[in-house]
Amino acid sequence: MLSAIIATHESERALVPTLSALVPGAMAGLVGEVIIADAGSRDATAEVADIAGCRFMSSAEPLGIRLKAAARSTRTPWLLFLRAGCVPEPGWVAAADAFMALADRADSAVPAAVFRPPGIADLLRPGFSELFALLRVAFGGGARPEQGLLIARRVYDGLGGHPEGAEPEAALLRRLGRRRLAMLAAGAHLAG
């Protein structure tokens, strides 16, 4: 079971497709709770979270501190970090479940995963950001925060969680390193 943690700020419209994509995970018993780690939005982000049954945590603290506080408030063995607007594609539940089962084995050296970036089929209608993401991955670039992060709680806690400072999501991915990070068999795209 996992807790999904979504970083938001003035994200009412971007949050809806992300939450909708998590429904199959909740119905399958994979997603136990969804926490919104908000930066003091003045739009309807809190109302969207309430209607969807999410726990809403609002703070003026920097992103890394908000994400770490949200993670600390959960009890599940797995954490799924997403940005508002990140929409896991159909099949993500089976892909995440299979990865977690494999990673829970004692001999597994890969305790975290990201969603795969847009594939070749998506290049038939590319946006600049999708094309850039595909080229970056093809030429050896690392994972990006826009790909989400599924991580074992024990590893997250062992790394000290998200660091403070600039770009805490990217910093955590760098600390994990490529050898401890897999790519899920399911993709995710940015809504909009």
Written as one string, the DSSP assignment of 15-59 is HHHHHHHHHHHHHTT-EEEEEEEES---SSHHHHHHHTT-EEEE-
Report how far residue 145's alpha carbon sits from residue 37's, in angstroms, rounded to the nearest whole number: 15
* Band of residue 119 on the pLDDT scale cut at 50, 70, 90: low
pLDDT tens, 64-87?
999 999 999 999 999 999 999 999
Number of domains in the chain: 1
Which CATH number fits the domain that encloses residue 104? 3.90.550.10
pLDDT tens, 168-180?
999 999 999 888 8
85: containing domain: 2-190
* Band of residue 130 on the pLDDT scale cut at 50, 70, 90: very low
